[in-house]
Amino acid sequence: MNEKQRSIILSSSSRFPPPPGVRLSYGTAGFRADSLLLESTVFRVGILAALRSLNTHSVIGLMITASHNKVSDNGIKISDPSGGMLSQDWEPFADALANAPDSQHLAQLIDDFVKKENIPLEEAESAEILLGRDTRPSGESLLDAAKQGIISIVGAVAVDMGVLTTPQLHWMVRARNKAMKATELDYFNQLSSSFRCLIDLIPQGSAVNKMNDNVVVDGANGVGGEKLEVLKKILNGLDMEIRNSGKEGVLNEGVGADYVQKEKVAPRGFGPADAGIRCASLDGDADRLVYFSVLSNANNKIDLVDGDKILSLFALFIKEQLSTLNKNEGDKENKCYRPTLGVVQTAYANGASTDYLKQSGLEIMFTPTGVKYLHEKAAEYDIGIYFEANGHGTILFSEGFLHWLDGRNSELALTSKGSEQHKAAMRLLAVSKLINQAVGDALSGLLLVEAILKHMGWSIHRWNELYHDLPSKQLKVKVVDRSVIVTEKAETVVVRPLGIQEAINIETAKYPRGRCFVRPSGTEDVVRVYAEATTQEAADNLASSIARLVDQFLGFGNS
């Protein structure tokens, strides 16, 4: 790099020294820590985003958020040109940048990387980075640090998009790079018009009653609740009440999708008076969605309808529309395109959901935890549906299939307008516009669930009855060094330390339908344990005994 560029980096980075003695790592979905530790990291990620933009000749996104974590935490997620997560090849560079001890080392790292990747620095190229943040109070100053990082690369421009959900920012980055309309209003308009289209296509006589019409949403006291209030104003055809929209309570405190899914209790603001009503919960940056219904007689207990069941509902609907579309087409090659349809889950998927999906004739693949893995796998299909049990997921449509579908839809509009086949084509097209193609999105997911339930005439109970979850339990174990655990086969088998998997197998075999796995967290300094069995007591016992094993093998010995 030339002297001018070098001296800008040296002088601007000296204003953002790294906190002494702290090592931050890129993790599963970006950097996350106490907000007071993050200025330097966010500044440096600003530099990385500018370089990535130069390298890809595309718009990049930076989102300041710590998702479902506590309000005093914050973090930064990076959106690649496709709207997906940062390419994994760049993660080591992100790690190295964040941990460079001083400005000189930082400048050297950048210089080396620019040379290695042939990044067109100082070649009059321009770079553009869209910035978003959630509602955390630390967001504004961190956003400023990101801007300073971005503009310390010559030719790079930072565009502040304001307070957004994470999926909104990813959607905008994708739209910008496809030269599509990309404002927040465009996002809302696309969601509301495709939702309306699905509602207008509901078969006459679907059994909809008043109870089924109403949904109550927990906004986690975060950005999702705020945005839903805006969306609600332009939505037509959905009776929605929003609670925990952030005007009073604390972000993620006793509220939100992560809390509801992990604790299996109703969030604050919900109680026995809501028994029987369809309820949904978003996480702090609105990229996760779960449903639940409050039980009338127990203290805040709920029936949880998690990401696995959302996945099952989506898969069922898509499969039904595809088979209607291809009905009676026999061997007519050009008319009957049989798209590949695949479902992607992680080891956290409840075994009952996997059994159900298999019985429904769907192809299921497993990947490690983390959206970047699921998304990549789902993109291998014409229609790939992925979900984590925690409620993060979406449906991806391949360009090739959408192109064919568009053509088929126009043809059907001419030859058999309003036929079942034509409606199925229109529904699939509407789903592809409603559901976020960049990343899992609680707002668009919610609208799709609502549209499908109305289409089926189903209550939340009918939906929940698709299958019965096997009782499960999750625990976390504090260890000296979680990286000692190495897993394979989508995190279902531990290959290091030696011997631990054999011990897990022996323990698990004691429980009918027992299933158990351990994995190092990608976001916290812990090892996570998941156990499943036929009764809650058995799942609890299995999880506890495996947690003890983990502790024996690599803990502090303090079980």
| Residue 473 binds ligand 16G (CB under 6 A) | no
Distance in Å, CB of 306 to ligand 16G, minimum: 12
| Residue 390 binds ligand 16G (CB under 6 A) | yes
Of these partners, Mg ion, ligand 16G, none, which one is at the site of residue 58 (CB under 5 to 8 Å by kind)? none
Half-sphere exposure of 362 (CA within 13 A, CB side): 31
Q: Is residue 411 within 8 Å of residue 336, measured between CB atoms?
A: no
Distance in Å, CB of 387 to ligand 16G, minimum: 10
For the CA atoms of 318, 515, 307, 260, the dihedral, rounded to the nearest 10 degrees, stands at: 160
Of these partners, Mg ion, ligand 16G, none, which one is at the site of residue 390 (CB under 5 to 8 Å by kind)? ligand 16G
Distance in Å, CB of 175 to ligand 16G, minimum: 19
Restricted to residues 254-283, the positions that interact with Mg ion (CB under 5 A) are 283
Catalytic residue among 40, 53, 67, 138: 67
In this chain, which of 170, 309, 377, 528 binds ligand 16G, going by CB under 6 A? 528
Q: In this structure, is the dihedral angle defined by the CA atoms of residues 442, 448, 452 and 454, taken in order, positive or negative?
A: positive
From 57-65, 224-232, 365-373, 502-510, span contacting ligand 16G (CB under 6 A): 365-373
| Residue 523 binds ligand 16G (CB under 6 A) | yes
Distance in Å, CB of 377 to ligand 16G, minimum: 13
- Alpha carbons 383 and 481: distance in angstroms, whole number: 39
- Share in percent of the chain as helix, strand, coil (round to 5): 45, 20, 35
Long-range contacts of residues 90-94, Cβ cutoff 8 Å, at least 24 apart: 90/48, 90/52, 91/26, 93/48, 94/26, 94/31, 94/45, 94/48
In this chain, which of 184, 274, 287, 441 binds Mg ion, going by CB under 5 A? 287
From 157-165, 291-299, 406-414, 516-524, span contacting ligand 16G (CB under 6 A): 516-524
- Alpha carbons 7 and 314: distance in angstroms, whole number: 53
Of these partners, Mg ion, ligand 16G, none, which one is at the site of residue 147 (CB under 5 to 8 Å by kind)? none
Q: Which is nearer to Mg ion, 287 or 491 (CB)?
A: 287
Check if 559 is active-site. Answer: no
From 190-198, 331-339, 393-401, 519-527, span contacting ligand 16G (CB under 6 A): 519-527
Of these partners, ligand 16G, Mg ion, none, which one is at the site of residue 555 (CB under 5 to 8 Å by kind)? none
Q: Is residue 191 within 8 Å of residue 434, measured between CB atoms?
A: yes
Number of residues binding to Mg ion, judged by CB under 5 A: 4
Binding mask 33-72 for Mg ion (x = CB under 5 A): ----------------------------------x-----
Q: Which is nearer to ligand 16G, 176 or 482 (CB)?
A: 482
What contacts 188, CB < 8 A, 6 or more positions away? 230, 231, 234
Half-sphere exposure of 372 (CA within 13 A, CB side): 17
| Residue 134 binds Mg ion (CB under 5 A) | no
Q: Which amino acid is at 490?
A: A
| Residue 376 binds ligand 16G (CB under 6 A) | no
Q: In this structure, is the dihedral angle defined by the CA atoms of residues 117, 182, 432 and 343, taken in order, positive or negative?
A: positive
Of these partners, Mg ion, ligand 16G, none, which one is at the site of residue 283 (CB under 5 to 8 Å by kind)? Mg ion
| Residue 390 binds Mg ion (CB under 5 A) | no
In this chain, which of 58, 360, 398, 521 binds ligand 16G, going by CB under 6 A? 521
What are φ and ψ of residue 558, in 5° steps?
Answer: -120, 35
In this chain, which of 370, 384, 391, 445 binds ligand 16G, going by CB under 6 A? 370
In this chain, which of 39, 73, 285, 450 binds Mg ion, going by CB under 5 A? 285
Length of the chain: 559
Q: In this structure, is the dihedral angle defined by the CA atoms of residues 324, 330, 335 and 339, taken in order, positive or negative?
A: positive
- Alpha carbons 80 and 145: distance in angstroms, whole number: 20
Of these partners, Mg ion, ligand 16G, none, which one is at the site of residue 371 (CB under 5 to 8 Å by kind)? ligand 16G
Q: Which is nearer to ligand 16G, 40 or 67 (CB)?
A: 67
- Alpha carbons 214 and 279: distance in angstroms, whole number: 9
Distance in Å, CB of 119 to ligand 16G, minimum: 26
- Alpha carbons 231 and 54: distance in angstroms, whole number: 34
- Alpha carbons 354 and 342: distance in angstroms, whole number: 13
| Residue 441 binds Mg ion (CB under 5 A) | no
Number of residues binding to ligand 16G, judged by CB under 6 A: 14
Neighbours of 210 (CB within 10 A): 7
In this chain, which of 28, 360, 474, 544 binds ligand 16G, going by CB under 6 A? 28
| Residue 218 binds Mg ion (CB under 5 A) | no
In this chain, which of 19, 276, 522, 555 binds ligand 16G, going by CB under 6 A? 522
Residue 125: its H or E element: none
Residue closest to Mg ion (Cβ)? 67
Q: Is residue 314 within 8 Å of residue 414, measured between CB atoms?
A: no
Listing DSSP states for 492-539 in one string gives: TEEEESTTHHHHHHHHHTTSTT-EEEEEE-SSSSEEEEEEE-SSHHHH
Of these partners, ligand 16G, Mg ion, none, which one is at the site of residue 521 (CB under 5 to 8 Å by kind)? ligand 16G
Q: Give me the residues that bind Mg ion (CB under 5 A), please.
A: 67, 283, 285, 287
* Catalytically active residues, by annotation: 67
Q: Give me the residues that bind ligand 16G (CB under 6 A), please.
A: 28-29, 67, 369-371, 388, 390, 392, 521-524, 528
